[in-house]
Amino acid sequence: MTASYWPAASVKSSREAFDSAFRAGAQSHGAVIIENFSFEAPWTDIKSLQDLLVRRPDICERLNAAQPPTKPNVKLAAVNFNKDSNRIIDQKVSLDSSAKRISKMAEDGVDIVELLGEQCKSIIDFHANIEALLAPRIMQALSGLVDDQLDSIHSDRAFTLRLCHYFERQAGEIAPRCGKHRDYGTFTIIFQDASQPGLEMLRDGVWQRVPAGCCVVQFGWCSQIRSNDRIKALPHRVVDSPAGADGIVPRRDSVAFFVAPDEAALLETITREGEVALYADMPTTHKQFKALMARRWSEREGTVEAGSDTRSQEDIVEEYQRAATMRHASAMDSGPAIKEALSTAAAPAICA
Residue 1 has a pLDDT of: 38
Question: The domain 3-271 is classified under which CATH number: 2.60.40.420, 2.60.120.330, 3.30.365.10, 3.40.50.10490?
Answer: 2.60.120.330
SS3 97: strand
Residue 138 has a pLDDT of: 96
- What residues does 34 pair with on adjacent strands? 9, 215
CA angle, 346 then 16 then 254, to 5°? 80
Residue 83 has a pLDDT of: 43
Whether 263 and 158 have beta carbons less than 8 Å apart is answered as yes
Residue 84 has a pLDDT of: 46
Q: Which residues contact 48 (CB under 8 A, 6 or more apart)?
A: 119
Burial 211-237 (b: 16+ CB within 10 A, else e): bbebbbbbbbbbbbbbbbbbbbbbbbb
* C-alpha to C-alpha distance for 247 and 315, rounded to whole angstroms: 38
* Closest C-alpha to 231, from 351, 138, 336: 351
CB atoms within 10 A of CB 65: 14
Residue 85 has a pLDDT of: 45
Write the pLDDT tens digit of every residue in 50-72.
999 989 989 999 999 888 888 88
Residue 307 has a pLDDT of: 66
pTM, entire model:
0.89
Residues of the chain with pLDDT under 70: 1-4, 79-87, 297, 300-308, 332-352
Residue 352 has a pLDDT of: 39
Strands 252-260 and 8-10 come out as unpaired
* C-alpha to C-alpha distance for 228 and 220, rounded to whole angstroms: 13
* C-alpha to C-alpha distance for 127 and 133, rounded to whole angstroms: 10
Half-sphere exposure of 145 (CA within 13 A, CB side): 27
Residue 302 has a pLDDT of: 63
Residue 328 has a pLDDT of: 79
Residue 283 has a pLDDT of: 85
Residue 350 has a pLDDT of: 41
- 10 Å CB burial of residue 335 (0-12, 13-18, 19+) is exposed
- 10 Å CB burial of residue 255 (0-12, 13-18, 19+) is buried
- For residue 11, CA distances in Å to 88, 157, 189, 280, 351 come to 39, 22, 14, 36, 28
